[in-house]
A and B are shown apart, each in its own frame.
Chain A
């Protein structure tokens, strides 16, 4: 009798131990099968919340990032509604070496011709954050600048290559508007060696003119540098930007992990931004 109870007890203990050790994976998979949180949009889904709002594309983590850098037309909607003005913008001089502030240069007149489909430039980090604040109010969803890590992850698109477009630097002009043959024609006084290919654009290109990366994102490198939400190396009076611009000739600027940074007030005629829409809780 006693032996039977002991056996039953031992069996119960063994069952309990088995459930504890082996039951967890079942519990986990059951949770995966029936998620309790909100359903995430499938990666690659495009969302546009108003006529002049930037299109964002969903990422595997549920956030969505601008399909393109914010365009001049999109920025104009904000500028008109809020009476935004911001003059004083760094412009590279004809020699390709010196940068001077154009006191009257701004996003409407950066120093070269643009249409509403071109990426907005001559916007500081302060200007860009005002834009995303406005966009958040307008749409009722939070929008912000991506962090450096988010921007890099979106650029590399799950890959491991040196460039957002792959490992082959020779293909750069198919994907990125860089300091190339067309640029050299526009800036004959620039003695720096340019990229030996032709992307057909001497200044900024209309967004989406070249090929996208694996996540369907355009201009993740080249065209314009893009502000991030990240402070620079311990100093939050500076912010980081990455991506490389239409006037950069050195390949280094277009590597996925390359970044630069400057004061949050600084504007440049090769520097714009891209928005990020965090995953909704």
Chain B
């Protein structure tokens, strides 16, 4: 009887500490290998998310955008910077910037026509999901901004507040997404209001404070604003 009581007490007191350890060993599945593909030589490399949505592993680069501009005779005019003169030095591997939502949409439509696949801009929710890589903190790497995790203002990289960094200069998240946050704000397909005169942007840029890189942060703008902190990331349904 005494033994039984002791056993029950031991299970109640100590069992709680033991069981999670058991669960970890017994039930966690190995992480699935990344599934990646590229639909054309100048297309973004895509990675398939657990939701079967494929997302660009990096923002669209300036080199990739240049192919589109050459093929279509794309031109920008009016106030502000242009993708060829973003006010700071860039390489072809830097993300394209100084693109408005309307510019991004033209690019997306061209890629869709070129590949025959339903490319589009991600929604705000899809951007958040892909950027967090299954994590739930402020950033996919944890609660604090850390050092040299992403390109943002005061985030400890050589590009801090200077300009964009070549894509994939930092470690990817668990979904294999590079520059998930930071470097350039990414235009989304999500409208601010029903009239759709403004769209949200996600992720923060090289000029953003760390708080703007959190998944909860978002900004928005008219469809014809092009700033040297705005860029493009593609998505498409992986099954079509």
A residues lining the B interface (CB < 8 Å): 90, 92, 97-101, 232-238, 260-263, 268
Contacts and interface: CB of A to CB of B under 8 A. Distances in A.
B227 A101 contact: no
B121 to A, nearest CB: 18
A237 B80 contact: no
Contact of B220 (A233, A237, A262): A233
Contacts, number: 46
Point out which of B79, B80, B198, B228 has the most chain A C-beta atoms below 10 A from its C-beta.
B79
Given A232-B221, A263-B207, A97 B78 contact: yes
A235 B208 CA distance: 8
Given A260-B79, A268-B79, 8 more contacts: A97-B77, A97-B78, A232-B221, A233-B198, A234-B217, A262-B80, A263-B207, A263-B228
Interface string B66-87: 0000000000011111000101
Q: B interface, how many residues as a size bin?
A: 20 to 34
B107 to A, nearest CB: 21
Contacts of B80: 90, 99, 262
A237 B87 contact: no
Nearest to B228: A263
A235 B219 contact: yes
A52 to B, nearest CB: 31
Contacts of B117: none
Contact of B77 (A90, A98, A237, A263): A98
Contacts of A92: 79
A183 to B, nearest CB: 16
A237 B85 contact: no
A47 B239 CA distance: 69
A235 B212 contact: yes
A265 to B, nearest CB: 8
Contacts of A261: 225
B14 to A, nearest CB: 50
A235 B229 CA distance: 10
Contacts of A97: 77-78
A17 to B, nearest CB: 48
10 contacts: A90-B79, A101-B85, A233-B219, A234-B220, A237-B207, A237-B208, A237-B229, A238-B227, A261-B225, A262-B80
